[in-house]
Structure 1
Amino acid sequence: MRKSSLAIGTISGVFLGLSLKLVQALTGINVYTLLLNIDFIPIAGKVDYPEYVEFLIHLGTSILIVWVYLKVLYRFTYFSINKWILAFLMIIPPILLYFPLSALAEKPVPNWHDWPAILIWSAGHLLYALLIAAMAKNDAA
């Protein structure tokens, strides 16, 4: 795994996590709780992890997303793939994960049809994608 995946994934993951934590503190909408929630995962979800462990899992996921993003970006530079469009396309699945994550959660998280929460979740992830693209180096895009 490239150092840039680790650095960009960590920085953007911390940004997303802290942003959603701040919004949750200000609004009471549990989007940060949803971001860190793993209680629906068999076996692992039955353990009551401290917040910092859940945050580290979130950062690992962020690093993996950035690693895939950079692999695709650098692999297809000869097609002049635009890093901004790619970041937007790559963030669509995490945005859509809102729905199954909220439906499967056992912790108190927003409902799958809570529009303010969906908008906050989506805005946070779009900013996350913009941050990834801004930090990515791509001469072709």
Structure 2
Amino acid sequence: MSVPAAPPTRYSNRSLPWFPGILTGMVSGVVLGFFLKTIQFYTDEKVYTLLLNIDFVPGLPPTLPEFIEFSLHLVVSVVIGIFYVWWVQRKGHPLFKGVLLGAASSLLYIPLSPLSSRVPDLYDVAAILYWIVGHLLFGIVLGLCGKYINTKKATPFS
């Protein structure tokens, strides 16, 4: 008696999860951006400005229109999203890994803050806390997207 072949998977082990990764990165990045924009609006802490800060990028003007700066932020979020979905598809634990990536990305406050006079000071405790909460929220949304993708992957198509 022969064993039936496993159905083909949607992604090979070598391919990147482009669509789910892009979608996950976009959703997570938009949530982070709107959260920090709301915080900056109500508290005047320049955490959204820090998120969009491009002062340190050689060859770019120090400021661009907000939609372009936000688009650059989303490009970074999409790269993280693709890596995240790829990682979760191989090793599982979507919520843990999402929060881990959110926490790790919050560490960017340390090198980014001193690079511009338009952003919060390196020792601005309120800004640091908002930044960390925002990035943990980013990680939670990554985790929820990853959990949803894993649930949908496990459900057979009719």
Whether 2:137 is the aligned partner of 1:127: answer: yes
Shift of 1:91: 2.0
Q: Partner residue of 2:53? A: 37
Q: Partner residue of 1:56? A: 71
Q: Which has the larger radius of gyration?
A: 2
Give 5+ residue unaligned stretches, structure 1: none
Q: Deviations over 1:30-49 (max 9, x none)?
A: 000000001111112x3531
Give the number of aligned pairs.
134
Structure with higher helix content: 1
Question: Post-superposition, which runs of at least 4 consecutive aligned residues in structure 1 deviate over 2 A?
Answer: none
- What is the distance in 2 between the residues matched to 1:91 and 1:128? 6
- What is the distance in 2 between the residues matched to 1:25 and 1:89? 27
Higher relative contact order (CA 8 A, sep 6+): 1
Q: Partner residue of 1:66? A: 81
Summarize the Cα distance change of 1:101–1:14 in structure 2 as closer, same or farther, 3 Å threshold: same
Q: Deviations over 1:93-118 (max 9, x none)?
A: 31110011001124x11001111000
Q: For residue 124 of structure 2, what is the amino acid of its counterpart?
A: D
Q: Cα RMSD over matched residues?
A: 1.6
Q: Deviations over 1:27-70 (max 9, x none)?
A: 000000000001111112x3531000000000111111111111
Q: TM-score, normalised by structure 1?
A: 0.88
Of the three residues 85, 91, 95, the one matched with 2:96 is 85
- What is the distance in 2 between the residues matched to 1:101 and 1:56? 18
Q: For residue 84 of structure 2, what is the amino acid of its counterpart?
A: Y
- What is the distance in 2 between the residues matched to 1:25 and 1:47? 22
- What is the distance in 1 between the residues matched to 2:102 and 2:66? 24
- What is the distance in 1 between the residues matched to 2:131 and 2:93? 24
Secondary structure of the 2:150 match is coil
- What is the distance in 2 between the residues matched to 1:75 and 1:65? 15
Shift of 1:22: 0.8
Q: Partner residue of 2:13? A: none
Using the TM superposition, name which of 47-56 and 29-38 deviates more. Answer: 47-56
Q: Percent identity among equivalent residues?
A: 38
